[in-house]
Amino acid sequence: MYDFQDYIIMTIILFFSVSFMMLFRLFIFILGLILLAPVYGAEKPNIVFLLADDMSRDTWGAYGGKDCKTPNIDKLAHQGVIFKNAYCTVAMCAPFRQELYSGRTPWRTTTLANHSSSTPDTKSIAHYLKPLGYRTALIGKGHIGPKQAYPFERFKANKNKTERTTKYNNGENDEFMNAANNFMDSCAEDNSPFCLFIASHDSHAPFTTGDSSMYDASKLEVPPYWLDTPILRENMRRYYAEISNFDTLVGRVRIELESRGLWRKTIFIVCSEQGTQLPFAKWTCYDNGLHTGLVAHCPELIQPGSKIDELISIADITPTLVEIAGGKLSEGDCDGKSFMKLLEGKSEDVHQYVYGAFTNCNIIHNNERIFPIRVIRDKSFSLIYNPNYKRITSNLTLSLALKRLSGEDSSRNDIGSSWVKLANTSDNAKDLVHKLHHRPEFEFYNRENDPYELKNEILNPEYAGVVQKMKAQLKKRLAELGDEDPIETEKALVR
């Protein structure tokens, strides 16, 4: 028989024995995590970025498009994250791509003009990811330079092994998939994480890819920033076919990643580039030109179906991807800022304003026409500055319209020139035709009430305070960039 004191002693011994075992097991568990942490940490996420060409975001269903079929992009937006306010700085191919890859503004890389190249000392995402063990490749359209600034691996398809998968012209989709598989196979052999950019030519004119029979031109809804003519509708039909062809590529790349077991290990991003070269988008500073479509799949980061409303610049993408990959940029490497906190579901104002620019030089039919444009935007308002407003602006898509307005007759016809005939039919048609080539010194738009920027409110006293503040901020920013006089800036760029 044990007395009460013996029970107390046995209870204490048992307690410490159990406690010691629990502590020992906890120690072993924590030690295991410490030892295994480098193994798990070494598995960096892959990055796949699909880039379209002159594709307005508002054609995608995810951004409210009604007629154009983009099921794969829309699915990605629904299951991943969609950026509502992503902007580029220049609505032209070469400036856009060099801003994307470098994370630097076109003022810094000296790529304000189209068909321009970056300064030789420019660093890009290929430089920043290499020390982290990444291989970085670009498949498809380049429009960047010099090579030392953008040292991407350039993988190509095995053409003798590439077979057409459709009866219609699917552009380079088959070659892109073949080349992408070659690159991913090579990375698998090296056991290397990878960053792959696939740059499609869809939907850059002329519109020749995709299955245009999917669309009936007569049933398409013409947006309010265009005038309804048969030639416009026919261009919309073929333009939409190219967008759908790009969307098919998005689906094919996703399926390939899933089949390789890489989907849950890959940051997958789809971007529309700048807006279409149809009027009032590309080659302008209007919202349709600079507002970028951007959707992404970011496993382990953000809740599926998320929407990010904060202002984002295309220059922010490189620093964000570098941070996701585990890197840390030095001060001054990029002009953009990482928005990784937004992907983690945290609140952060990355930018109060985003800025845009356009230079008319070095575009076909415009080598000597000086008409720079600058813009400042916040989440609600746009202020556009046209310093050489007493002159005219134009580009190769508006040249025939300009000739027709000048009284020259031509058997040729395009979208802009087809609108000239409508100028006397209504005030709306007259205003849009005038707007093709003539812009006031300042334009101010409330995008909350006027998302297509159709009503210039610059003289509305209701907005006087906002206008004054944005003018001052734009002037300050241009001075910081060495662009106090955009007319002189553009003159210096003319070849």
| Structure confidence by residue, pLDDT tens digits, 211-236 | 999 999 999 999 999 999 999 999 99
pLDDT of residue 259: 98
| Residue 39 pLDDT greater than 70, yes or no | no
User: CA-to-CA distance for 399 and 385, rounded, in angstroms?
Assistant: 23
Whole-angstrom Cα distance, residue 321 to residue 125? 8
Percent of the chain with pLDDT over 70: 91
Give the distance, in angstroms, between the CA of residue 172 and the centroid of all CA atoms in the same chain. Answer: 21
Does a structural domain hold residue 420? no
Q: Are residues 125 and 265 in the same domain?
A: yes
Asked if 53 and 127 sit in the same domain, the reply is yes
Number of domains in the chain: 2
Q: Is residue 160 part of a domain?
A: yes
What confidence tens digit (pLDDT) does each residue in 66-87 have?
A: 999 999 999 999 999 999 999 9
273 and 362, same domain (yes or no): no
| The domain boundary residue, chosen from 351, 377, 411 | 351
Tokens of 415: 């979208």
Helices (H) and strands (E) in the chain, counts: 15, 12
What is the mean predicted confidence (pLDDT) over 360-378? 86
Q: What is the pLDDT of residues 151-189, one digit of tens each?
A: 999 988 887 667 788 889 999 999 999 999 999 999 999
| 470: CATH | 3.30.1120.10
**Do 394 and 487 have their domain in common?**
yes
Nearest 10 degrees: CA dihedral of 102, 103, 108, 111?
Answer: 60
For residues 290 and 372, state if they share a domain. Answer: no
Q: Is the CB of residue 315 less than 8 Å from the CB of residue 89?
A: yes
Low-confidence winner among 24-38, 85-99, 121-135, 298-312 (lowest mean pLDDT) = 24-38
Predicted local distance difference test score (pLDDT) of residue 42: 52
DSSP code of residue 59: G
Pinpoint the alpha helices (H) of 153-222.
Answer: 173-190
DSSP assignment string, 387-442: TTTTS----TTTHHHHHHHTT---S---HHHHHHTTTTT-HHHHHHHHHTT---SE
Helix 230-259 × helix 173-190 angle, to 10°: 20
Arithmetic mean of pLDDT, 246-262: 98
Question: Can you give the residue range of the structural domain that contains 107?
Answer: 44-351
The pairing of beta strand 81-87 with beta strand 306-308: parallel
pLDDT per position as a tens digit, 423-482: 989 999 999 999 999 999 999 999 999 999 999 999 999 999 999 999 999 999 999 999
Residue 19 lies in a domain: no
Tell me the mean pLDDT in the region 349-366. Answer: 89
Inform me whether the pLDDT recorded for 277 exceeds 90.
yes
Q: What is the CATH number of the domain that holds 189?
A: 3.40.720.10
Question: 415 lies in a domain?
Answer: no
The 8-class DSSP code of residue 381 comes to E
| Residue 82 within a domain | yes
Of the residues 313, 330, 351, which one is the last residue of a structural domain? 351
Range with the lowest mean pLDDT among 28-37, 84-93, 334-343, 486-495?
A: 28-37
Q: Flag whether 407 is in a domain.
A: no
pLDDT at 463: 98
* pLDDT above 50: residue 360: yes
Task: Tell whether 483 and 334 lie within a shared domain.
Answer: no
Say what the pLDDT of residue 18 is: 44
Residues 76 and 201 reside in one and the same domain: yes
pTM of the shown model: 0.90
pLDDT at 198: 98
Residue 376 confidence (pLDDT): 98
Determine, yes or no, domain membership for 39.
no
Beta partners for 281? Answer: 283
Contact 398, 364 (CB under 8 A): no
Mean pLDDT of 392-398: 88
List, in sequence order, the alpha helices (H) in 42-136. Answer: 71-79, 93-102, 106-109, 125-129
Q: How many CB atoms lie within 10 A of CB 440?
A: 13
Q: In terms of C-beta density within 10 A (0-12 exposed, 13-18 middle, 19 or more buried), how is residue 116 classed?
A: buried
Q: Does 320 share its domain with 444? A: no
Q: What's the chain's average pLDDT? A: 91
- Is 364 in the same domain as 321? no
Residues 131 and 52 in one domain: yes
Whether residue 347 is found in the same domain as residue 366: no
Structure confidence at residue 204 (pLDDT):
96
pLDDT, residue 417, reads 93
Q: Three-class SS of residue 365?
A: coil
- pLDDT score, position 5: 55
Q: Which of 86, 112, 110, 42 is nearest to 311 (CA)?
A: 86
| Whether residue 441 is found in the same domain as residue 299 | no
CA 325 to CA 134: how far, in whole Å?
9
In a domain, 129, yes or no: yes
Q: Is the pLDDT of residue 262 over 80?
A: yes
- CB-count exposure of residue 331 (10 Å: 0-12, 13-18, 19+): exposed
| SS3 label, residue 39 | helix
